[in-house]
């Protein structure tokens, strides 16, 4: 599990996740900040445009299933990963140009142009979301293809740690592309920096994706196993048959629901964390922005350590419970820090929450990759990716909504009580998800899926 060859493979694959992390900094960080602050585009329109990429998360199931059926030069995942990467890199450039186009309308004060150009940007990000789904879903399925059950926790640790590394490195490198335009108030210099950024970054990212993926996927070899000739001739099972297999395993619906709850609870604080720092601890904008780095570093450590030190000893289910309990306790410690008005305790609790969240995330990802079938890995990964994408989007919306509801009850949405209410709901969700993950039965899942697959493949041969 810890051989040098395996570590090199994991780091190579992690480059792909690092690229996605860097892209998230560009799209959700730099573009978001430019549109709202420098170009003064309405925040609601900006959120709609940049968030529209999540609306097409349902396409993950289709792309995953199509990668199961693909036989391009005996490769299933690589064509989708590379093709999707080419598309999302090209669309990153298109999105950047559209952002500047939208900025022109905002600078002239023409609100009609601002709105319809903002809608065009939303359409661009819809296609961007499709490209991300086309690439990232087969990539996750590839992780199943190239690893064993024993290797998977360590593989998850390395690959998803590289996602956080990509976010940190992306923030540093992308800002260097902007150069001196970051420190100037002249919009013309800032626009020139953005043009330079969107011209270079997509090319660099696509090259890194090629380095990460090229030659990793082992070609299919018809005749290698009893199933291979049958699958080579019949191009895997159809989407309708795959749906039949999904419905026949009760663990599919159960894990989908629990994974959705876990993701929802994990990101419920995302929309209220920085306002909490400002309202309760009187942090300025720059200081509160760095709070994401505090819990992000904790999450990185939790993910990195869990696959090597905890999951192999406790198992994925009990590790998920431990992470859920720890995360819930540290969220409550954040509430206590607010009650005591202790900034030091708040930062400590936030870092520890990140560690607990990393433990839970590693365990849930290990379960997610384990709850698949070699014949339908892409399809199952698409289903689990759908659960995560929509649950995270709902969490972002719900965090703000809950803050408003508790604000009505406490007299102000900026009161300590309103924020405490959101964090208590989050702690309950994390604890419940940890307990429910204990009931995920991988053996029952595998047996039911194998029975369903056997039935479906037999009917397709008839």
pLDDT digits (tens, 9 = 90+) for 271-324: 678 778 888 888 765 566 567 778 878 888 898 888 888 888 888 889 999 999
**Least confident window among 36-45, 85-94, 448-457:** 448-457
Contact by Cβ (8 Å): 68, 387: no
End-to-end CA distance of the chain: 42
Residue 453 pLDDT class (50, 70, 90 cuts):
low
Whether 204 and 111 map to the same domain: the answer is: yes
Q: What phi-psi label fits residue 450: left (phi over 0), alpha (psi between -120 and 50 degrees) or beta?
A: alpha
Mean pLDDT of the chain: 81
pLDDT of residue 225: 42
Flag whether pLDDT at 183 surpasses 60. Answer: no
Q: Which of these, 155, 152, 146, 193, lies nearest to 174 by C-alpha position?
A: 193
Q: How confident is the model at residue 241 (pLDDT cuts 50, 70, 90)?
A: low
pTM above 0.95, yes or no: no
Same domain, 289 and 427: yes
418 located within any domain = yes
Residue 109 has pLDDT above 90, yes or no: no
95 is a domain residue: yes
On whether both 210 and 302 belong to a single domain, the answer is no
Question: Does any domain span residue 398?
Answer: yes
For the chain, how many residues are written? 462
What are the beta bridge partners of residue 72?
Answer: 75
The alpha-carbon radius of gyration of the chain (Å, integer) is 23
Q: What would the mean pLDDT of 81-108 be, rounded to a whole number?
A: 92
Confidence of residue 245 (pLDDT cuts 50, 70, 90): low
* Residue 225 lies inside a defined structural domain of this protein: no
With cut-offs at 50, 70 and 90, classify the pLDDT of residue 229. Answer: very low
Which whole number is the average pLDDT over 206-211?
95
> Which ranges in 109-236 belong to alpha helices (H)?
111-145, 152-178, 187-213, 228-234
Give a yes or no: residue 57 inside a domain.
yes
Tell me: pLDDT of 368 over 70: yes
Pick from 192, 219, 246: which residue ends a domain? 219
- The residue to which tokens 């989050």 are assigned: 426
Does the residue 390 lie in any domain? yes
Higher confidence at residue 417 or residue 234?
417
Residue 226 domain-assigned (yes or no) = no
Supply the pLDDT for residue 93: 95
> Would you say residue 19 has pLDDT above 60?
yes
Mean pLDDT computed over 372-385: 74
Last residue of a domain, one of 219, 241, 274: 219
Kindly report the backbone phi and psi dihedral angles of residue 234, in degrees, each rounded to the nearest multiple of 5, phi listed first: -110, 10
Mean pLDDT of 32-36: 73
Structure tokens at 74: 């005996």
CA-nearest of 200, 137, 36, 209 to 369 is: 137
Residues 53 and 187 in one domain: yes
The pLDDT, as a whole number, for residue 277 is: 84
Looking at the structure, do residues 256 and 375 belong to the same domain, yes or no?
Answer: yes
pLDDT of 462 > 60? The answer is no
Q: Which domain holds residue 237?
A: 233-462
Asked which of 163, 189, 219 is the last residue of a domain, the reply is 219
274 with 209, same domain? no
Does 179 share its domain with 324? no
Query: What average pLDDT does the segment 8-30 reach?
Result: 87
404 burial level (CB within 10 Å; 0-12, 13-18, 19+)? exposed
More confident residue, 285 or 119: 119
Average pLDDT over residues 422-448: 86
> How many structural domains comprise the chain?
2
The CA distance from 153 to 149, in Å, is: 8
The CATH number of residue 365's host domain is: 1.20.1250.20
- Cα 276 to Cα 415: distance, rounded to the nearest angstrom: 9
Q: Are 133 and 173 in a shared domain?
A: yes
- Whether residue 179 is found in the same domain as residue 308: no
Rounded Cα–Cα distance for residues 159 and 15 (Å): 8
Beta-bridged to residue 75, according to DSSP, are: 72
Task: For residue 11, tell me if it sits in a domain.
Answer: yes
Identify whether residues 276 and 215 lie together within a single domain.
no
Dist. CA 311–CA 323, nearest whole Å: 11
CATH number at 85 reads: 1.20.1250
What band does 80 get if pLDDT is binned at 50, 70 and 90? very high
| Per-residue pLDDT, 235 | 43
CA 418 to centroid of chain Cα atoms: 28
Name which of 287-291, 395-399, 425-429 the model is least confident about.
287-291
273-281 vs 416-437: helix axis angle to the nearest 10?
Answer: 140
DSSP H helical ranges for 267-342? 273-281, 285-289, 291-305, 311-314, 316-340
Same domain, 211 and 245: no
In this structure, the answer to whether residues 297 and 435 fall within a common structural domain is yes
In angstroms, the CA 301 to CA 93 distance is 33
Cβ neighbors of 143 (< 8 A, separation 6 or more) are: 13, 152, 155, 156, 159, 369
User: Higher confidence at residue 102 or residue 228?
Assistant: 102
Residue 230 has pLDDT above 50, yes or no: no
């Amino acid at each position: 599990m810890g051989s040098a060859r395996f570590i090199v493979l994991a780091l190579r694959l992690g480059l792909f996740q690092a690229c996605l992390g860097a892209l998230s900094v560009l799209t959700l960080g730099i573009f978001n900040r430019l549109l709202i602050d420098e170009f003064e585009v309405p925040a609601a329109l900006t959120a709609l445009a940049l968030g529209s990429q999540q609306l097409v998360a349902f396409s993950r199931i289709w792309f995953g299933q199509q990668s199961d059926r693909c036989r391009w030069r005996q490769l299933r995942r690589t064509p989708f990963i590379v093709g999707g990467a080419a598309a999302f890199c090209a669309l990153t450039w298109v999105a950047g140009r559209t952002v500047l186009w939208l900025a022109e309308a905002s600078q002239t004060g023409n609100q009609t142009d601002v709105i319809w150009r903002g809608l065009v940007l939303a359409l661009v990000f819809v296609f961007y979301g499709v490209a991300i789904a086309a690439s990232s879903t087969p990539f996750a399925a590839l992780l199943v293809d190239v690893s064993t059950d024993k290797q998977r926790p360590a593989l998850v640790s390395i690959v998803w740690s590289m996602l956080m590394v990509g976010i940190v490195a992306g923030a540093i490198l992308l800002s260097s592309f902007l150069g001196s335009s970051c420190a100037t108030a002249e919009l013309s210099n800032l626009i020139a920096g953005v043009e330079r950024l969107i011209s270079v970054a997509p090319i660099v990212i696509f090259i890194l994706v090629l380095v990460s993926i090229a030659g990793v996927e082992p070609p299919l070899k018809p005749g290698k196993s009893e199933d291979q000739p049958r699958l080579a001739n019949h191009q895997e099972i159809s989407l309708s048959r795959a749906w039949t297999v999904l419905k026949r395993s009760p663990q599919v619906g159960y894990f989908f629901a629990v994974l959705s709850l876990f993701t929802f609870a994990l990101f419920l604080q995302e929309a209220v964390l920085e306002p909490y720092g400002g309202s309760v601890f009187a942090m300025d904008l720059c200081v509160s922005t760095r709070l994401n780095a505090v819990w992000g570093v904790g999450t990185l450590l939790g993910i990195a350590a869990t696959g090597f030190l905890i999951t192999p000893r406790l198992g994925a289910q009990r590790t998920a419970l431990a992470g859920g309990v720890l995360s819930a306790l540290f969220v409550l410690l954040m509430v206590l820090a607010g009650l005591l008005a202790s900034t030091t305790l708040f930062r400590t609790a936030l870092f520890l929450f990140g560690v607990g969240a990393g433990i839970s995330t590693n365990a849930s990802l290990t379960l997610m990759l384990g709850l698949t079938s070699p014949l339908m890995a892409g399809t199952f990964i698409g289903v689990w990716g759908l659960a995560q994408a929509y649950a995270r989007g709902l969490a972002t919306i719900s965090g703000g909504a809950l803050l408003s509801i508790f604000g009505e009850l406490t007299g102000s949405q900026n009161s300590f009580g309103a924020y405490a209410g959101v964090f208590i709901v989050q702690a309950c969700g994390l604890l419940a998800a940890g307990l429910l993950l204990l009931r995920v039965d991988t053996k029952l899942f595998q047996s039911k899926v194998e029975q369903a697959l056997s039935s479906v493949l037999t009917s397709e041969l008839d």
